[in-house]
Amino acid sequence: MKIEKENISLSQLLTLLINFLLGSAIVVGVGGDAKNDAWLAILLGGLIGIGIITFFHFFIYRFPDKNMFQVFEFCIGRKITIVCTLIYIVYYLYISSRVIRDFGELMATAILPNSPIEMMSLTFCLLMGYILYLGIEVLARTSEIFTPYLFGFFLLLAIFLFASGSLEFKQLQPILGEGVMPVIKTAFTELAFFPYGEMIAFSVIYASLTNKKYSLRVSIVGVGTATLILSVSAILMIVSLGADSVARSNFPLLSTARLVSIGNFIERLDALVVFIIMLGVFIKGSLFFYAGLKGLEYIFKLPYRYFAIPISMIISLFSILVSVDFADHIQEGIKMVPYYLHFPFQVVLPLILFLLVMWKQRKIKSKRKGEQDGTEQTKSSFIKETNKN
Amino acid sequence: MRLKSVVIVIAIVTLLTGCWDHREISEITVVVGMAVDKGDDDKFTLTIEGINAKELSDKTASGFAPSVVFSLKGDTLAELSQKMNIGISKNLIFSHMKVLVIGESVLREGILDFIDFLERNREIRDDFNIVTARHVKAADILKVTFLVQKSSSLKLHTQLNSFVESWGGDPDIRLNDFIQAYTSAGKRGVLAALTINGDPKKGGSVDNMKKGAPDAMVVVDSMAILKKDKLLDFLPLKDTRNYLWLINKLEKTVVTVECSKNKFLGVRIFNTVTKSKGSLVKGRAIINLKIRAEAYLDSTQCKDDDLTQIKTFKKFGKLTDKQIKKDLETTIKKLQQNYEADIFGFGEILFRQDYNNFKRIEKQWDEYFKEAIVNVDVNVKIRRSGIRTKSPFSEKK
Amino acid sequence: MVTFAFILLVILLTILIALFDMSLFEFSFFEAMKNILYSEIAIGRYIALFGAVLGLISSVIIDFRIHRSKKESNADERTQG
């Protein structure tokens, strides 16, 4: 089966990265454990994020035209890879369902309490299925088109909050009141996995990138921008609501937007926030979904488009079944997902894979030295290129 | 040639005239409400509320009364409804009736045979609310004006529908339900009971509409229960909701649950289903009711209310289950022991699910109902808790 | 193949969620499955099931079409060869 090549430009990658990182992180608010210093924790987390993306980048770029699953195959053979891929697909689809559920909870709690959450997730997933049926390029373009609005709305929100006088910057104090430990702990135990570690989903996207020369720089800029937005939004939340209220809020950014009131005229800006959240959730859910589809494509050797609609329905179903109530959803996110899913799939497996790749490539290199041929262009020619970079 | 044109003219005149039933809009008065009281010497007093359409529109209103209320005494509604022109100028149209108020006196006497007229009449449709008036005459209910809808009947129609949607305080009885409850052996009828808060005399004037806190207001007071055509008693509003819940007609409601002394939870039920099964075992009716519901937590005053914890949701869910079960069982017991009136249609459940056995005891169903074992199983899932987790007044930090 | 993938993934995800529920609620496996499958009521359940059935049907249709196109291409090759 011939698998067509898709192209994503650098600006599209940038917007995808930003939306992906904002995604559900901006819905539920991150870094809450660090209280007043959540914004510092996010900045620190951003540094970790840059490290993570650089690592993935170098790792994937040893094989520029391969996605993660094909790299697996290179190391451990197709049979074991199929099992690994299947586990990864389950992970990706599960996270995608959780992201959709995050959004569904927001809608059901704050915006449309009388509409069934099932209907929202069904329509949302149908849209995701349709867009990915059309291809990742369409998703990338969607993201590219809507991202300026995201910046615009975010800026508007910040300005309006400032203008309505509901910001009290002294609420940021005391800065580092409990020392640096809470900040470091939050950054490494919470933020490193969510949202930054989740960038593992991009391992299937880099293969479609056209301009590979600047991709690292663009990736770093993307992560940096997203971190900045997250950090600023954390600051906005804290200085407008206060740390205690933020901790008690299920959806802090939404609560923040409700404070805006300028001259009884500009108020009820929930819609702006919902737009930002919806875009982020849509991109993030779709990217995980796409990563899962790519895995299926690898296993079954069928173009991933075939799987788009059926699998989107799986996501819709499991976004409902994933948890019974809101506490279940939150607790699963805190107690289960980081330890049993994020840690093995974001850290352990990629690291093992990385070591395997190093080992295997060294072996090939020594073999080639032994043969002393070097007539054909083999995979190791890529190594030379990457080493030059 | 001439013959031909004559034929054409005659044909046009006879065929294109339209029907005899036509009524011009300017010649009719639309009746929106009807009230039936007991007459002093005659059998009934019929009161109708005809709207003054000009007053209902804001553009044309000039501050006069929004509707005209007129009463007549007689023995049949059929005659009375056509005799209204004793006082009213235009022909009456009954097809847009919204409310039928049956007086308490009529229910006590059990003279409900006028219902036949309503069912038989082609003009009257089965889409009006049937209610009863408690403590006041049914006619007075139609007279009280209201700020928003102006006409009392229109207000009542909207009010009752909203009440069903938001809390479940009106049994939502239509003509068909009423007649079914009357004819069925395994079901007794109920009606929403209205009363007037304030002075009924003052309520009838246009001035009543001009006040923020009106002198008189029609309020939903309780639920009347009937045995055949006789009024048994009035039950408080809480029983109305429980009644709706038991017959699987509840849409939404809010339950107040006590979690410790003087501390309450507010739980909003937004989706609920009641499944009922029944059978006769050893001469006793056994009814199993399974109630499942989804809910939002709307407020909490309790300790240990960390709503990010699973056990909190579990605990609150259990408390809610218990409270609802207690409420429902109280209502059932009350009807079994005090009234022997099966308003919940348990008899019908048996009729459908255990036909042969029920056929034997159909005549003595009331006694069997009194002895019936009713098991209520409630399972409420609290799904989410609004946009905050803990209460700011929570004791734990 | 698509149908196979669909069913396989549904089973795997159900097991994953059941495992999580088991450790969160301290359920046995059977209770966890029951909790998942009976957690939705009334309209909600029907919408969720409708989605799942829609996915299943679409996967069957896609499978059927892949099968047919494969047959045709095989037939073409044979006539050419």
Interface confidence (ipTM) of the complex: 0.90
Mean pLDDT computed over C33-61: 83
Give Cα separations from A166 to A175, A261, B139, B242 (angstroms).
20, 9, 56, 46
B190-198/B129-133 β-pairing: parallel
The answer to whether the CB of B381 falls within 8 A of the CB of C39 is: yes
Q: With an 8 Å Cβ cutoff, are B392 and A248 in contact?
A: yes
Provide DSSP, A192-239: TTTTGGGGGGGGGTGGGBS--SSHHHHHHHHHHHHHHHHHHHHHHHHH
> What pLDDT, on a 0 to 100 scale, did the predictor assign at position B256?
94
Phi first, then psi: give them for residue B149, nearest 5 degrees. -90, -10
Q: With an 8 Å Cβ cutoff, are B272 and C44 in contact?
A: no
Q: With an 8 Å Cβ cutoff, are A248 and B385 in contact?
A: no
> What pLDDT, on a 0 to 100 scale, did the predictor assign at position C7?
94
> What pLDDT, on a 0 to 100 scale, did the predictor assign at position C79?
67
> What pLDDT, on a 0 to 100 scale, did the predictor assign at position A386?
45
Q: With an 8 Å Cβ cutoff, are B293 and C41 in contact?
A: yes
> What pLDDT, on a 0 to 100 scale, did the predictor assign at position C24?
86
d(CA B7, CA B111): 57
d(CA B29, CA B91): 6
Q: With an 8 Å Cβ cutoff, are C66 and A119 in contact?
A: no
If one counts the domains in chain C, the total is 1
Which chain C residues have a beta carbon less than 8 Å from that of B272?
Answer: 41-42
Output the CA angle A68-A73-A76, nearest 5 degrees.
120
Q: Which domain holds residue C35?
A: 2-80
Q: Is C12 on the interface with A (CB under 8 A)?
A: yes
Residues 6+ apart with CB under 8 A from B378: B291, B293, B320, B321, B322, B324, B325, B328
Q: Name the nearest CA neighbour of A133 among A268, A246, A321, A286.
A: A286
Biggest alpha carbon–alpha carbon distance for chain A: 80
Which chain C residues have a beta carbon less than 8 Å from that of B271?
Answer: 41-44
- Tell me the residues of A at the C interface, defined by beta carbons under 8 Å apart: 86, 89-90, 93-94, 97, 116-119, 122, 125, 296, 299-300, 302, 306-307, 309-314, 316-318, 320-322, 324, 328, 331-332, 335-336, 340
What's the pLDDT tens digit per position in A181-210? 888 888 888 888 888 888 888 888 888 888
Nearest Cα residue in chain C from A307 = C2
A120 to chain C, closest Cα gap in Å? 10
Show the tokens assigned to B32: 């929106």
Q: Is C43 on the interface with B (CB under 8 A)?
A: yes
Mean pLDDT computed over C75-80: 70
Enumerate residue ranges in chain B where pLDDT < 50: none
Show the tokens assigned to B395: 């004791």
Nearest Cα residue in chain A from C2 = A307
Q: With an 8 Å Cβ cutoff, are A118 and C56 in contact?
A: no
Q: Which of A35, A117, A250, A254 to mutate to test the interface with B (most CBs of B within 10 A)?
A: A250
Domain spans in chain A, listed from the N-terminal domain onward: 10-388
A60 three-class SS: helix
CATH class of the structural domain A10-388 = mainly alpha
The closest CB to that of B313, out of A116, A248, A327, belongs to A327
Segment (H or E) for B383? strand B373-384
Q: Which of A1, A92, A306, A325 to mutate to test the interface with C (most CBs of C within 10 A)?
A: A306
Return the CATH architecture of domain B243-397: 2-Layer Sandwich (3.30)
pLDDT per residue, tens digit, chain A (389 aa), is: 456 678 899 999 999 999 999 988 888 888 777 778 889 999 999 999 999 999 888 877 778 778 888 888 888 888 999 999 999 999 999 999 999 999 999 999 888 888 888 999 999 999 999 999 999 999 999 999 999 999 999 999 899 888 888 888 888 888 888 888 888 888 888 888 888 888 888 888 888 888 888 888 999 999 999 999 999 999 999 999 888 888 888 889 888 888 888 878 777 788 888 899 999 999 999 999 999 999 999 999 989 999 999 999 999 999 988 888 888 898 888 888 888 999 999 889 888 888 888 888 888 888 887 765 544 444 444 444 444 44
Within chain B, all domains assigned CATH 3.30.300.210 are found at: 243-397
Which chain C residues have a beta carbon less than 8 Å from that of A116?
Answer: 43-44, 47
